[in-house]
Amino acid sequence: MSATVDIPQSIKDSLRKFRFARRNEGSAALVIKINKAKLIMEEVEQFDSISIEELAEELPENSPRYVVLSYELEHKDGRKSFPLVLINWAPVSSEIGLLTLHASALLNFQNTADVSKVIEVRDGPEGLTKEVIDTKLLH
């Protein structure tokens, strides 16, 4: 059974607003979940100026989420940039049906969010740290 998950206009509007927000310090995140019963994406929460460790603690231990992250990245030469990153939060303890649905909708969401870099996190808060993100973005 191939179910498609709808991305409502409200989510597209939130994504657009989030993408174009001016940031000069800290990381911000937009958290999206799939409502399995309605096959629709829903905004869970937005965080402004949140550390990666705090964000990891906010995410559920056994339910997948898409997290669009505006990340404060410090380059080796001292410059700062704020790349948009999509964190595919998919803890292995999640219900299989939901994980499958989440995985099947990922590409569509990634394209809608217009984010090229995806970081997979399957092992919960330990897998979502500043070091992990720096490593993925700087190499």
Q: What digits encode the pLDDT tens for the residues 62-79?
A: 999 999 999 999 888 999
Model confidence band, residue 1 (pLDDT cutoffs 50, 70, 90): very low
- Letter for the amino acid at 56? A
Angle, helices 9-20 vs 96-113, to 10°: value is: 60
Q: What digits encode the pLDDT tens for the residues 25-65?
A: 889 999 999 999 999 999 999 999 999 999 999 999 999 99
| Average pLDDT of the segment spanning 115-132 | 94
Model confidence band, residue 118 (pLDDT cutoffs 50, 70, 90): very high
Q: What are phi and psi of 84, to 5 degrees?
A: -90, 130
Could you tell me the two tokens for 20?
């174009």
Could you tell me the two tokens for 49?
């100026």
Q: Which among 131, 120, 113 is positioned nearest to 51, based on CA atoms? A: 131
Model confidence band, residue 89 (pLDDT cutoffs 50, 70, 90): very high
Q: How far apart are alpha carbons 91 and 64 in whole angstroms?
A: 6
Percent of the chain with pLDDT over 70: 98
